[in-house]
A and B are shown apart, each in its own frame.
Chain A
C-alpha cells in the first residue's frame, strides 16, 4: 500500500503505529520482521509521556510533543539509549523521562548545564533519542538487505523531525525516504482493503461466510504473491 502511493520500489519499512513498532523488509515472498520493540511501542511511549507532562490530546499527543519540541533544544537531556542489534526498547526511556518531568514540576530539574530545563527541552530530548534509535535500526536493516530506500508507515511517521532524520540517513546511503501522509498513515481500513485487492488480483479467494478477523496477524505471516 505504501508502495503504491509513494512509488518506492524495494524499501525497508519502518512501521510505527501506536501499538506496534517494527522494521520490515521484503525477502522471498514475505515481509520479514528484521527488528521490533522488545517492550512498548514508540507511539505508546510518546502518548504516555504526553500524559505525564499533561500535554493535550488535541489533535494528537505526538503532534503536540512535536510542536513543543520545536521550542526546546537549548540542552539535550541524558536519556537511556536502548538498541540491541535490530531491536529496541522504550520503557526505560519512558521511565526516565517521567522522572525528569516530575523533577521539573517539583522545581528541581537541572539540565547538564546546571540550568533548569523546560517541558519543551524534555520533548526535544525525548524525540531526538527515540527517533535516533528508530533510524539506527532501520539503517541496520537497510545494510542487511542492501536497500537504500525507506518507507515510513504509521502515525508517528507523520512527525517531520523523524522524516528529516530518516532523510539524512538515507541520503548518506545514496537513497531516499518515502512517507505517506496523514490520510494513509492512520487508516487501517484502507490498508486492509488494499492488501485484499492485491491478493484478489493474484487469484486469492475467501468466500464471505468464511471471512474472519485475525487481530493478531503478524506481518510476516502473510504470503505475498503479488510481488516478485
Chain B
C-alpha cells in the first residue's frame, strides 16, 4: 500500500494478526491505528508517535519516550479512579507506541452535529424542553465526565468535543425505530474522554478553569447553534466534587482575561 510506504507503521504492527491494522488518523503528533494484534476478538487502538526527522535523534527519543509514558500514566490513573477513559493494554514508550481499548462509537462532535443537523434552520425559538431532553442529557454526561477527571487531579489540556467519544451501548446497536428514536441514538452512549497527550496533574482552580474555558470555546466554535446548552455542562460539573463551585467562579476570571487579551494583546 502506498500509504504504508510513506508512513511506515511501528514494528509491532508488522507481525501477523487476525486482521491487518488500519490507519484511523494521521495528526500532527502521531497516528492512531485500529488493530487486533493483542487478541483476535478484541480490537484495540494503537497510538504511535513516529520519529521526527527534523529533530536531533537524542532529543527526539527523549521526547517521544516521555510523552508516551506520561500519557499512559495519566490514563492508568484515571482508569483506576473511575474516570471514563480507555484503559491502557500495553505500551513500549521507547518505540513510541501504546495500545488501549478501542472505543466503539462516534466522537461527541459528530453526535451533536447529527442531532442538530435534523433541526429546523431557524434556531431562534428554543425547542420544547421535552424534545431536547436527549441532547440536554448528553450535556450533563459531559459535565459529569469532566468533573470526574478533575476530581482525580488531572487536567486534560485539550478538551474538545472531538476528544470525547460516545461509547455505543448494546441496546442502541440495532438500527431502525421511529425518527425520534434514531435521532436520540446520535447522542446516546457513555462519554469517554480520549487524547491525553497534553494532560498534566494539577488540583489548582486556575488550571481546572482554563480546562473548562478551552472546552467552552471549542464548543462555541464547533456547535454555535448549541452554545446556550453549555450552561448545562457547567451545572452538572458543579455537583461532581467539593471544589467544583470555586472552579466555576475562577472560570469567570479566566473568561474576562481571555476577552481582554483578544482586545489588547
Interface residues of A (CB under 8 A from B): 76, 78, 81, 84-85, 128-129, 132, 135-136, 139-140, 142-144, 164-166, 168-169, 172, 216, 218, 220-221
Which of B52-60, B112-120, B165-173, B248-256 binds A?
A: B52-60
| Contact across chains for A135 and B58 when beta carbons are under 8 A apart | no
Q: Is the Cβ of A172 less than 8 Å from the Cβ of B59?
A: no
Q: How far is the CA of A164 from the CA of B262 in the complex (A)?
A: 33
In contact, B54 and A168 (Cβ under 8 angstroms): yes
From B63, B157, B262, A85 is in contact (CB under 8 Å) with B157
Cα-based distance from A140 to B59 in the complex (angstroms) = 18
Q: Which residues of A contact B56 (CB under 8 A)?
A: 76, 128, 132
Q: Is A85 within 8 A of B54, CB to CB? A: no
Cβ–Cβ < 8 Å partners of A78 in chain B: 62
Contact of B59 among A129, A143, A144, A216 (CB under 8 A): A129
Question: A120 → chain B, closest Cβ, in Å?
Answer: 15
Residues of B within 8 A of A136 (CB): 52
Are B28 and A140 in contact, CB atoms less than 8 angstroms apart?
yes
B158, A132: Cβ atoms closer than 8 Å:
no
C-alpha gap A85/B218 in the complex (Å): 14
- Contact status A139-B63, CB under 8 Å: no
- Closest-CB distance, B175 to chain A (whole angstroms): 33
Q: Which residues of B contact A (CB under 8 A)?
A: 27-29, 52-56, 58-59, 62-63, 157-158, 198, 262, 264-265
Asked if A218 and B198 sit within 8 Å, CB to CB, the answer is: no
Nearest to A79 among chain B residues (CB) is B59
A143 neighbours in B (Cβ, 8 Å): 27-28
Selected from B29, B59, B157, B198, the residue in CB contact (under 8 A) with A132 is B59
From known contacts A81-B63, A140-B28, A216-B264, infer whether A76 and B53 are also in contact, taking CB-CB under 8 Å. Answer: no
- Asked if A132 contacts B265 (CB within 8 A), the reply is no
User: Does the CB pair B28–A132 fall under 8 Å?
Assistant: no
Say yes or no: B158 contacts A81, CB within 8 Å.
no
Are B28 and A81 in contact, with the CB atoms below 8 A? no
Measured CA separation A46–B56 after assembly (Å): 19
- In the bound complex, what is the Cα–Cα distance between A165 and B158 (angstroms)? 26
Specify the main secondary structure of chain B where it touches its partner: loop
User: Told that A85-B157, A221-B265 touch, could you supply 20 new A-B pairs with CB distance under 8 A?
Assistant: A76-B59, A85-B158, A128-B59, A132-B52, A132-B54, A132-B55, A132-B59, A135-B54, A139-B28, A140-B28, A140-B29, A143-B28, A144-B28, A166-B54, A168-B53, A169-B52, A169-B54, A172-B52, A218-B264, A218-B265
Shortest Cβ gap from A19 to chain B (Å): 13
Shortest CB–CB separation between residue B144 and chain A, in angstroms?
A: 25
Closest B residue by C-beta to A128: B56
Q: Do residues B27 and A165 form an inter-chain contact, with CB atoms below 8 A?
A: no
B27 CB contacts on chain A under 8 angstroms:
143
Contacting residues, chain A, for B158 (C-beta < 8 A) = 85
Chain A hits for B52, CB < 8 A: 132, 136, 169, 172
Kindly report which residue of chain A lies nearest to residue B50, judged by CB atoms: A172
Measured between beta carbons, the chain A residues less than 8 angstroms from B59 are 76, 81, 128-129, 132
Task: State the CA gap A172–B26 with chains docked (Å).
Answer: 12
Report how far A135 CA is from B59 CA in the complex, Å.
Answer: 13
**Contact across chains for B28 and A85 when beta carbons are under 8 A apart:** no
Residue numbers in B under 8 Å from A221 (CB-CB): 265
